[in-house]
Chain A
Amino acid sequence: AQSVTQLGSHVSVSEGALVLLRCNYSSSVPPYLFWYVQYPNQGLQLLLKYTSAATLVKGINGFEAEFKKSETSFHLTKPSAHMSDAAEYFCAVNAKAAGNKLTFGGGTRVLVKP
């Protein structure tokens, strides 16, 4: 079975501050990991994905995530938050043994303060 846990359902950061969103996964086989972002009234948009190549993955909008097998983590970071980063962020896992689906974490809503 595969599962994803996102620590913190809400995160508040100041504009210009570091954004750190935590994601831990559980998978019996090497996973593929994804971060999606959802802006208000929009669908889920892929930020970045890990597919067993480089462990540090760079995505769109200045986000990056590092796969750490020893910690079963895939935390998302951005060095400097912008107001436009206010959204909900979802971590997701897809493991081959789990079949044809994404399993999502509970999501983290990011509020950016001016």
Chain B
Amino acid sequence: EPEVTQTPSHQVTQMGQEVILRCVPISNHLYFYWYRQILGQKVEFLVSFYNNEISEKSEIFDDQFSVERPDGSNFTLKIRSTKLEDSAMYFCASSVGGPLQNEQFFGPGTRLTVL
């Protein structure tokens, strides 16, 4: 069964460093998303991406964040200069069509720890 994969599963970085979280969405999906979950808090939407551009982003997704689909398979989230408060589990998701009805398939997540 097709699934969303994410690498790495754990990432430890120093404050101020850049990190890139990688995701491989399901191959025939067209919509891609990033969510995050700070420990003990809700899963929060960060950004959605369609047709090679951001379709929506939350207030969390500031200039320190960027997303890219560098090739036909990967979808990446870059945090330019990490802060302590960026420590969280980051989930990638994808869907065949628009999100209103189509199921979003989630990856297992990348746990980011910023020291």
Which residues in A have some Cβ–Cβ distance to B below 8 Å?
32, 34, 36, 41-46, 49, 51, 90, 92, 94, 96, 99-107
Contacts and interface: CB of A to CB of B under 8 A. Distances in A.
User: Most chain-A CB neighbours within 10 Å: which of B45, B48, B56?
Assistant: B45
Contacts, number: 58
Contact of A96 (B4, B35, B100): B100
10 contacts: A43-B91, A43-B108, A44-B93, A94-B99, A96-B100, A100-B31, A101-B56, A102-B35, A104-B35, A106-B41
B103 interface: yes
A99 B42 contact: no
B42 A100 contact: no
B104 A102 contact: yes
Contacts of B42: 104-107
A43 B48 contact: no
B106 A45 contact: yes
Contacts of A42: 108
Interface string B81-115: 00000000001010000111101111111000000
Interface residues of B, number: 27
B43 interface: yes
Interface pairs A-B: 5 shortest CB-CB: A101-B45, A43-B106, A44-B106, A104-B43, A100-B56
Contact of B4 (A43, A94, A100, A107): A43
Contacts of B27: none
A45 B104 CA distance: 9
A100 B99 contact: yes
B33 interface: yes
B58 to A, nearest CB: 7
A59 to B, nearest CB: 11
A51 B107 contact: no
Contacts of A51: 100-101
A101 B58 contact: yes
Given A100-B56, A101-B56, A36 B45 contact: no
Interface in B24-63: 31, 33, 35, 41-45, 48, 50, 55-56, 58
Contact of A46 (B31, B91, B103): B103
